[in-house]
Structure 1
Amino acid sequence: MEYCEWTVNPSFEGERLDKYIVQMNDEWSRARVQEWIRAQLASVNGQARKGNHRLKAGDIVSLKVPPAVEPEIHPEPIPLDIRYEDQDVLVVNKPRGMVIHPGAGNYSGTLVHALLAHCRGELSGIGGVARPGIVHRIDKDTSGLLMVAKNDLAHQSLAEQLKDHTIERMYSAFVHGVIPHDHGTVDAPIGRDKKNRQRMAVIHQNSKPAVTHFSVRERFRSATLVECRLETGRTHQIRVHMKYIGHPLIGDPVYGPQKNPYAIEGQALHAQVLGFTHPRTGKRIVLEAEWPEDMEKLYRTLKSKSFV
């Protein structure tokens, strides 16, 4: 059982205990934290409290985190668009709409289920039962290239490359509005949105550094095609950063306008280029995946200038 302890900062004066704990770790949902509090695994100054207990500056909040129970996952023969594969690494072109790994509400049909069937046990175990071979992630409604480790040696190497920012990741994105400058860098920390735990936001408390470089590739009447290159890999990073500079992604159901006038389901974001150094051979591998059909159609619509 993991033990956590925090001293309440003055900025959290008056915050509910359950909301405070949720903000201490991006991976914990409020429902899960409330279960732990009901089980009296959380305390304030050594005394168990309810979730609605209001905190004071200087309070000592303690939490005993029970070990996670890994779900049983069975292989599913789901077709995969594989762009590279050898004994160590697999790169798949993930379609829009596919979830990476099992979680709340997604207990089948994920990339992990498909990988288990395709690789037949030859996957890194570092990610645990629920995330075998998964080195990095892209959102459900983002399409494109994703690398998978087939053994622990490959996993450790690829994870280290991500940490050292030597993995090349270029995304194509269509955003609302016309960006006037050709190049830019968004250097703004990202953390959980305090008003909505399902969203991320640019905030300066309980956040992590995030850097996105972008280049304009083409401008349209009311939209822009950009290439985004990640220096860091935070949850929803490109989506949050483009919204932050006033150009949310077209079709984004979370960070974009409420009404989407374009015929695309989900954000117009595609992981187009992926480059890495092979864990065993040291050879540099760079792969590119064409846009999915819905983004090609969006491009033709914007290019024709017939959309009003």
Structure 2
Amino acid sequence: MTDFSHEVQKEEAGLRIDKLLASLNQDASRSQVQAWIKGNYVEVNQVEVKSNYKCQAGDHISWEIPEPEELDVIPENIPLEIVYEDEDVLVVNKPKGMVVHPSPGHPNGTLVNALLYHCKDLSGINGVIRPGIVHRIDMDTSGLLMVAKNDAAHESLVNQLKEKTVKRSYQAIVHGDITHEVGTIDAPLGRDPRDRQKMAVVDDGRHAVTHFEVLKRFGHFTHVKCVLETGRTHQIRVHMQYIGFPLVGDPKYGPRKTLNSNGQALHAEVIGFNHPKTKEWLEYQIAPPEEFQHLLKEIEKMS
């Protein structure tokens, strides 16, 4: 068991305990937190509470993250493009179309299945379904992911994400002509109240900031670089749609009439972080896949 504690601050008073804990455990979903509460792993002032408990300033919250269940995800011999690897971390270039970890609709063929075949030592903090997974990118987003090979590395990388010291830069192709050279989108994200399968900008959402820079304009389309300050679910996709420039090919947040790119035109190009053990700064860059570059050429022909 890993033990944690937190004293509720004034600005956190009134928040539901499950919502607050989900924000404090960036790599845990609200449903996971609710499972911890139901399993009596969470106490407020040494008393067990329910998920809808409203926190008060000065409350002392203590919680444990349950040990991972027995492994039941099958290792699969799937080719992996490893950009960097040592005994603590690895950086992998995830191809477009690959899911990061198993889920009801994707029980196998995932990055986790491939990692389990490649590595015999992944961190167990996120349980059997997501061993080693510190952060995610969507199935149809290609690019770089850092993976923890032990629990100490996992905790270090998660803390760096929380402290916003990890460098994460993406390339994207969006609809529309962005006239500004650079911009920042600071808009909170949460579940879309009209469609729980989608995220949206909502008043009571989690703090989310995306910086963007125009790389090239094509009239009806713009090639942009997006830099994440925070890492919320679908953040770039939702933020760009929010300011009127949805990603090309995005089936969830894009327009009905879009280019056929087999999912959103989004690539995680750069990842940078301090090595969990040596504290050395590591930074890696990978060019967008051929499919992304071909799409740029097609758009250039159209403009």
Fold match, TM over 0.5? yes
Residue in 2 that maps onto 1:178? 177
d(CA) in 2 for partners of 1:233 and 1:193?
A: 17
Runs of 5+ consecutive residues of structure 1 not aligned to the other structure: 1-21, 37-59
CA shift in 2, pair 1:230/1:61, >3 Å = closer
| Equivalent residue letter for 2:210 | T
d(CA) in 2 for partners of 1:154 and 1:97?
A: 27
Q: Under a length normalisation based on structure 1, what TM-score does the superposition of the two structures give?
A: 0.77
Contact 2:19 2:30 in 1 (8 A): no
d(CA) in 1 for partners of 2:161 and 2:70?
A: 25
| Equivalent residue letter for 2:137 | I
Q: Under a length normalisation based on structure 2, what TM-score does the superposition of the two structures give?
A: 0.78
CA shift in 2, pair 1:101/1:162, >3 Å = same
Residue in 2 that maps onto 1:161? 160
Residue in 1 that maps onto 2:112? 112
| Equivalent residue letter for 2:111 | L
Residue in 1 that maps onto 2:99? 99
Shift of 1:70: 7.0
CA shift in 2, pair 1:139/1:108, >3 Å = same
**Pairing of 1:1-308 with structure 2 (within 5 A):** 27-28=30-31, 72-120=72-120, 122-205=121-204, 207-260=205-258, 262-305=259-302
CA shift in 2, pair 1:182/1:119, >3 Å = same
d(CA) in 2 for partners of 1:200 and 1:267?
A: 15
Secondary structure of 1:296's aligned partner:
helix
| Equivalent residue letter for 2:193 | K
d(CA) in 2 for partners of 1:61 and 1:138?
A: 30
| Equivalent residue letter for 2:75 | P
Shift of 1:28: 3.9
Runs of 5+ consecutive residues of structure 2 not aligned to the other structure: 1-17, 23-28, 39-50, 54-65
Secondary structure of 1:297's aligned partner:
helix
Identity value in percent: 57
d(CA) in 1 for partners of 2:219 and 2:185?
A: 24
d(CA) in 2 for partners of 1:128 and 1:110?
A: 15
d(CA) in 2 for partners of 1:170 and 1:70?
A: 35
Contact 1:183 1:216 in 2 (8 A): yes
State the aligned residue count.
253
Contact 2:69 2:128 in 1 (8 A): no
| CA deviation profile, 1:68-110 (whole Å, cap 9, x unmatched) | 9777111111110111111111111001111111112111111
RMSD: 2.5
